[in-house]
Amino acid sequence: MPKAFTPKVVTANALLEGDVIYLGADDTWVRDLADAEIITDEAIAQMRLLDAQSRASEAVGVYLADMAPTDSGPEPTHFREAFRATGPSNYSHGKQERA
């Protein structure tokens, strides 16, 4: 039996800066996970993924990441995505500097 679909976001890395980015509901790339579109329908998730993968001049490594919907936006369900959402780990800059 296939695994049940769980909510997801489309994520990638910005082509020029390398930052972790997420696809927003308005079809723009956003850098804050709270602004990402959470997708609860498997067919829509696949369409959004294919569209994002076709934007090779903007993003690389596009994939769907599992998330849990919350009142404050998507929350990662896996350590990898929680780690990616905090920004670079080698020193404080970018997202870590603002925290």
In a domain, 3, yes or no: no
Total domains present in the chain = 1
Give the range of the structural domain holding residue 14, as residue numbers without chain letter: 8-98
What is the overall mean pLDDT for the chain?
90
In a domain, 57, yes or no: yes
Q: pLDDT by residue (tens digit) across 11-53?
A: 999 999 889 999 999 999 999 999 999 999 999 999 999 999 9
Residue 78: what pLDDT? 93
In a domain, 58, yes or no: yes
Residue 90: what pLDDT? 59
C-alpha dihedral, 75 to 77 to 80 to 86, nearest 10°: 20
Kindly report whether the global pTM for this prediction surpasses the value 0.75: yes
Measure the N-to-C terminal CA separation of the chain; round to a whole number of Å: 43
